[in-house]
């Protein structure tokens, strides 16, 4: 019986992210597609996830992997069409899997009807008021201010007139020049997105993942960045007091959207991409009349350090709890280096920040420890209350691909910085399904839009299936164990004291007959003893009983015990 069939499913769901270009290609063009997702839905049912989140599948020039949308109510032909998308939603539901789709309201593609109408009209027209358009300085020759794009270079590009001659005006794009930022004061912008929400809700989708949910409103007058920040804001850094993020007006938009979600039965759910500096600012998005949930990037950014991780868990639960919201847990997504590589680099002594895709590492990761830590972090995450996200390939333990040649890289930040930054393609390499073949079963023709490492056969779904030591079987076991202890996804958590800061042990509620489960993870360098009578799940092999009772938890290992 799936645990997803109630109105509160989003409070404790395990949600699997599909980056559709890279999951499974059915038509052989080297790009994943909706038919590929439909064909592989049994993988997800077998894995035991409650929901999927599909990164943008809308009509798009694909200059930022689909986060540049030219029509929100149509599907890009590389993926399929609206009919196949609707069929996918129905088929997922038949398997007890909910479907969340992405929505990108901060900016459109420059190919969107709104921007094309802007280009066809002159300054001061209504079409211009849907975007942020300002006259340039120095008689129009210089951008209106010094803001820089997250992807590098100026955040402004010149607006040509209908005849192609310069107008002296500029439009704002916090990301690529092909992604103009919408002006949320304009009623057409609200209407465009309310129509889009209803369009997909009416086709059965259970919710939306909202891109850049803290960015839609800009400070009046476009003031300069606070001096200590420079002009460059990094989406992946903890930002505060910046005029383009986390402005108070953004919350009114989420209240408007929540009213639409509440008109459906069961109500539809939102998860926001909210990069803000503190758990406190984050929780403001989760007030009862705003978003249901938001990605907990403080978890994703936490280093391999017991005290730090404990602080993140406590703050996240405390702040979200104040507004009655569950928290979320996330270790990977399509924007950050794979967790195995991140933790492997940290184990090798790299100073690389945990989410940095701006630079390539100069050290070799300690892969064995990276693998162990990625496994442990998964087991620990799934023992926490709230919902948890898995990114495609995380269940296979895929590493980051660090050596993609420059000429295949597609990240717009790579292009905008002349190859100095923008390495997100390394976590977007297609998924290996079979041990052999030129694209390991990703595509029937062997094509793949990014090259796949030659040694990925043993990481494929087929190769890992049935091998109890594999990451795939660990993930299946962990999800089964989580379902068997439904109280784990809700309820409170108590830290068990008496161990070092490096070995975290927390007590979680469980079924009536069995009062609790202990979730433990050893982030230190020496073994720790956990006082318990039996072991439910471990990230590594069996745990040795300790002399005098309990079990020995080696470094880089997590377990559930009773």
Q: Which two tokens stand for residue 215?
A: 């960015």
Q: Which two tokens stand for residue 527?
A: 């073994």
d(CA 175, CA 180): 8
Q: Which two tokens stand for residue 325?
A: 């919201």
Q: How many other C-beta atoms are found inside a 10 Å radius of the C-beta of residue 364? A: 11
Q: Does 104 bind ligand NOJ (CB under 6 A)?
A: yes
User: How many chain residues interact with ligand NOJ (CB under 6 A)?
Assistant: 9
Residue 388 dihedral angles phi and psi, to the nearest 5°: -130, 145
CB of 168 to ligand NOJ, least distance (A): 28
Is residue 427 within 8 A of residue 355, CB to CB? The reply is: no
User: Is the CB of 67 or the CB of 343 nearer to ligand NOJ?
Assistant: 67
Q: Does 335 bind ligand NOJ (CB under 6 A)?
A: yes
CB of 275 to ligand NOJ, least distance (A): 9
User: Is the CB of 130 or the CB of 424 nearer to ligand NOJ?
Assistant: 424
CB of 335 to ligand NOJ, least distance (A): 5
Residue located via tokens 């050290």: 363
Question: Of residues 53, 58, 67, 285, which one binds ligand NOJ by CB under 6 A?
Answer: 67
Query: In the beta sheet, which residues pair with residue 172?
Result: 156
CB of 426 to ligand NOJ, least distance (A): 13
d(CA 520, CA 527): 12
User: Is the CB of 109 or the CB of 327 nearer to ligand NOJ?
Assistant: 109
User: Is the CB of 33 or the CB of 335 nearer to ligand NOJ?
Assistant: 335
- Report DSSP state, residue 134: E
Q: Whose CA is closest to 48, among 558, 395, 380?
A: 395
User: Is the CB of 357 or the CB of 539 nearer to ligand NOJ?
Assistant: 357
CB of 204 to ligand NOJ, least distance (A): 24
Angle at alpha carbon of residue 65, lines to 63 and 69, rounded to 5°: 70
Per-residue x/- mask for ligand NOJ, residues 174 to 213, rule CB under 6 A?
Answer: -x-----------------------------------xx-
Per-residue x/- mask for ligand NOJ, residues 212 to 251, rule CB under 6 A?
Answer: x---------------------------------------
Is residue 310 within 8 A of residue 523, CB to CB? The reply is: no
CB of 287 to ligand NOJ, least distance (A): 23
User: Is the CB of 397 or the CB of 412 nearer to ligand NOJ?
Assistant: 412
- Residues 487-516 touching ligand NOJ, rule: CB under 6 A, are none
CB of 477 to ligand NOJ, least distance (A): 30
d(CA 422, CA 151): 7
User: Is the CB of 424 or the CB of 508 nearer to ligand NOJ?
Assistant: 424
Residues 6+ apart with CB under 8 A from 156: 134, 136, 143, 144, 145, 147, 170, 171, 172, 173
CB of 427 to ligand NOJ, least distance (A): 11
d(CA 273, CA 55): 12
User: Is the CB of 67 or the CB of 201 nearer to ligand NOJ?
Assistant: 67
What residue number has its CB nearest to ligand NOJ?
67
CB of 378 to ligand NOJ, least distance (A): 21
Residue located via tokens 């939603």: 89
Per-residue x/- mask for ligand NOJ, residues 255 to 284, rule CB under 6 A?
Answer: ------------------x-----------
CB of 210 to ligand NOJ, least distance (A): 10
Question: Of residues 25, 27, 33, 64, which one binds ligand NOJ by CB under 6 A?
Answer: 64
Is residue 412 within 8 A of residue 335, CB to CB? The reply is: no
Residues 6+ apart with CB under 8 A from 204: 86, 89, 90, 93, 99
Q: Whose CA is closest to 432, among 15, 32, 7?
A: 32
CB of 112 to ligand NOJ, least distance (A): 13
User: Is the CB of 8 or the CB of 71 nearer to ligand NOJ?
Assistant: 71
Q: Does 148 bind ligand NOJ (CB under 6 A)?
A: no
User: Is the CB of 429 or the CB of 532 nearer to ligand NOJ?
Assistant: 429
* CA distances to 172, 342, 352 from 135, in Å: 11, 43, 40
* CA distances to 11, 286, 437 from 271, in Å: 11, 9, 37
Is residue 528 within 8 A of residue 500, CB to CB? The reply is: yes
User: Is the CB of 183 or the CB of 315 nearer to ligand NOJ?
Assistant: 183
CB of 209 to ligand NOJ, least distance (A): 9
User: Is the CB of 391 or the CB of 440 nearer to ligand NOJ?
Assistant: 391
d(CA 406, CA 421): 11
User: Is the CB of 212 or the CB of 503 nearer to ligand NOJ?
Assistant: 212
Compute the half-sphere exposure of residue 333: CA atoms within 13 Å on the CB side of its CA: 22
By the criterion CB under 6 A, which residues form the site for ligand NOJ? 64, 67, 104, 175, 211-212, 273, 334-335
């Amino acid at each position: 019986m799936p645990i997803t069939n109630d109105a509160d499913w989003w409070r404790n769901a395990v949600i699997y992210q599909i980056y559709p270009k890279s999951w499974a290609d059915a038509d052989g063009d080297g790009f994943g597609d909706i038919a590929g997702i439909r064909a592989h839905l049994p993988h997800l049912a077998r894995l035991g996830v409650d929901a999927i989140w599909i990164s943008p599948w809308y009509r798009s020039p694909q200059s930022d992997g689909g986060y540049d949308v030219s029509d929100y109510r149509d599907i890009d032909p590389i993926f399929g069409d609206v009919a196949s998308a609707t069929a996918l939603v129905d088929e997922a539901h038949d398997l007890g899997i909910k479907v969340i789709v992405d929505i990108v309201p901060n900016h459109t593609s420059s190919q969107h009807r709104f921007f094309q109408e802007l280009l066809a009209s002159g300054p001061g027209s209504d079409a211009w008021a849907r975007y942020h358009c300002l006259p340039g300085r120095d008689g129009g020759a210089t951008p209106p201010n010094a803001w820089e794009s997250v992807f590098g270079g100026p955040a402004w590009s010149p607006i040509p007139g209908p005849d192609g001659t310069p107008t002296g005006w500029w439009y704002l794009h916090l990301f690529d020049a092909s992604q103009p930022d919408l002006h949320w004061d304009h009623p057409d912008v609200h209407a465009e997105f309310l129509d889009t929400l209803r369009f997909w809700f009416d086709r059965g989708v259970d919710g939306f993942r909202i891109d850049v949910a803290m960015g839609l409103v800009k400070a009046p007058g476009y003031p300069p960045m606070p001096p200590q920040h420079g002009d460059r804001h990094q989406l992946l850094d903890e930002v505060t007091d910046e005029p383009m993020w986390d402005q108070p007006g953004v919350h009114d938009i989420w209240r408007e959207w929540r009213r639409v979600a509440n008109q459906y039965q069961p109500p539809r759910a939102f998860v926001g991409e909210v990069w803000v500096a503190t758990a406190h600012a984050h929780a403001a998005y989760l007030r009862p009349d705003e978003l249901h949930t938001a990605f907990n990037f403080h978890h994703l950014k936490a280093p391999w350090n017991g005290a730090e991780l404990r602080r993140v868990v406590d703050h996240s639960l405390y702040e979200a709890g104040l507004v009655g919201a569950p928290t979320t847990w996330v270790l990977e997504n399509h924007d950050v280096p794979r967790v195995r590589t991140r933790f492997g680099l940290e184990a090798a002594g790299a100073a690389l920040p945990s989410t940095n895709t701006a630079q390539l590492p100069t050290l070799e990761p300690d892969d064995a420890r990276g693998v162990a830590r990625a496994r442990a972090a998964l087991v620990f995450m799934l023992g926490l209350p709230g919902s948890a996200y898995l990114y495609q390939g995380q269940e296979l333990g895929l590493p980051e691909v660090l050596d993609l040649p420059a000429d295949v890289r597609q990240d717009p930040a790579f292009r905008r910085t002349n190859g100095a930054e923008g390495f997100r393609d390394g976590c977007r390499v297609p998924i290996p399904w079979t041990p052999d073949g030129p694209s390991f079963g990703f595509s029937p023709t062997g094509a793949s839009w990014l090259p796949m490492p030659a040694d990925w056969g043993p990481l494929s779904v087929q190769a890992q299936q049935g091998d109890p030591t594999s990451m795939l079987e660990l993930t299946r076991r962990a999800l089964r164990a989580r379902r068997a202890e439904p109280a784990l996804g809700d309820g409170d958590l108590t830290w068990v004291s008496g161990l070092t800061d490096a070995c975290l042990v927390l007590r979680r509620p469980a079924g009536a007959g069995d009062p609790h489960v202990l979730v433990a993870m050893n982030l230190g360098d020496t073994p720790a003893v956990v006082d318990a009578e039996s072991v439910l799940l471990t990230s590594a092999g069996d745990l040795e009983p300790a002399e005098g009772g309990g079990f020995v938890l080696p470094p880089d290992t997590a377990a559930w015990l009773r």
